[in-house]
Amino acid sequence: MGVDLRSVVPKMNLSSASDYTSIVAITLFVALLCACIVIGHLLEENRWMNESITALAIGLSTGVVILLTSGGTSSHLLLFSEDLFFIYLLPPIIFNAGFQVKKKQFFRNFMTITLFGAVGTLISFVIISLGAIILFKKMNMGSLELGDYLAIGAILSATDSVCTLQVLNQDETPLLYSLVFGEGVVNDATSVVLFNAVQSFDLSHMNPSIALQLIGNFLYLFVTSTLLGVAAGLLSAYIIKKLYFGRHSTDREVAIMILMAYLSYMLAELFFLSGILTVFFCGIVMSHYTWHNVTESSRVTTKHAFATLSFIAEIFIFLYVGMDALDIEKWSVVSDSPGTSVAVSSILLGLVLVGRAAFVFPLSFLSNLTRKSAHEKIGLNQQVTIWWAGLMRGAVSMALAYNQFTKEGHTQLRGNSIMITSTITVVLFSTVVFGLMTKPLVRLLLPSSKQLVRMISSEPVTPKSFIVPLLGHGQDSEADLCSPNMPRPSSLRMLLTTPSRSVHYYWRKFDDAFMRPVFGGRGFVPFVPGSPTERSLHQEQGE
């Protein structure tokens, strides 16, 4: 059976031309990533700019150049893909957030973070969804259904605190940083869980039964996703503790940590759970147990590897969002009614402002009722900063909007195009305008130097070296928490006024008695032939 080479050669040439185009696009994109890093470094001391805004600006400039060179047909180097974002870019960002978080600060403010991140997101979701239903139905928006309006609520409830965290100092304002950081992660997870829950139900005939199923599905996804992340983290700790890969190769230790973290995320997606919640809590558990079971060189490697991957993914996302803001296809569909697009964008921005304020100030008041010490309360200036920090919308909102209103980044439906372009407008406006004003606002509203000194002296400092446990704090602070002289809760009121100290005390007792002997952690030293055993080392350290 013969083969006609004349028919094969043109196909090979076409394939090679397509591959070469992809290589050119990826090369240019990598070059732009390098430019973002260099320019961001040069603007490090600028009081207005930060890395996210720099990447957005470069993306916009690149989009203009591509539009001009392509004759107005495209503004992208790469086509957007929800899979690219949710499978490859988001996991390292969220995992590193959990891996690097200061656990003492996070869990000390856990109730407030949960209030803001979960309850607050639900309040914002309801306000934005209701506002969209009431206001958009009066406008000529095209064919949008109830599920689309609820999806809008979930999409625009997802905050982007990356810009703010770049100008907040974890050592100078530990309370503020912990609240903004923790709320941002829980908020993103809650928004994605809400979005998935809305998509999984037929909302054409809404009734109390459907509403209860929606709430039940939300709680199920939240709990099971968290448990899966904890289980994956504990499994990685157990495997590394028992097998001790480091005696032969530290590369295996690093590889198993990275792959187990990524496996937890993919398992969550496989079982239709929240990969964000799963990989976040996997990061927390790995930092508490697994990271202390590996060799010293592996600790250095994993710390910087996770941080670097997260950094590159964040820059990649903002760079692409800048380019996509000029996508001519989406804007051409709504070009006949620019007034409608501007009105929708303004309404959405107003709903974001109102929805954010509707929970930050009331929930801060509730949180302050449980805080006994005056300097631990969330002051009005801090509440305003927290409200402002959550006004920015970013990559998660963009990805969810594409998932709901486009197919592989393309749409020709008028209503869908209006929602996509309006979401792009809100993301750009909030990131650039609110982001530019964040540094001056923080400097204006944050406490005076005397208050800062008092707050710093009462909080654990950020580790300056990998030798100090990444997510821990000074040895003295941990000892204080486990001290037998620490007051025990004698009533429900006392438990509510000092929840973190009492809960942490009982958790430490359980952790030391049951968890660390099985899963390792701080104080555990792997057995190496010819060296003191783990038991003798623990006895020497008084543990």
Coil, strand or helix: which one is 407? strand
Instruction: For residue range 69-124, list pLDDT tens digits in order.
Output: 877 777 677 776 777 778 888 899 889 888 887 777 777 788 888 889 889 999 99
Whether residue 404 is predicted with pLDDT greater than 50 in this model: the reply is yes
Residues 516 and 292 sit within 8 Å (Cβ to Cβ): no
Give the side-chain half-sphere CA count within 13 A for 490: 2
How many Å apart are CA 153 and CA 191, to the nearest integer?
9
Q: What is the pLDDT of residues 162-206, one digit of tens each?
A: 656 665 666 667 777 778 878 887 888 788 888 887 877 666 666
d(C-alpha 388, C-alpha 429), whole Å = 13
Tell me the C-alpha distance between 305 and 488, whole Å: 41
pLDDT in tens, 27-80: 988 999 999 889 888 887 766 666 777 888 888 888 888 888 877 777 677 776
Q: What is the pLDDT of residue 233?
A: 94
| The pLDDT value given to residue 120 | 92
What whole-number distance in Å separates Cα of residue 193 and Cα of residue 265? 14
Lowest-confidence pick of 48-52, 415-419, 481-485, 504-508 = 481-485
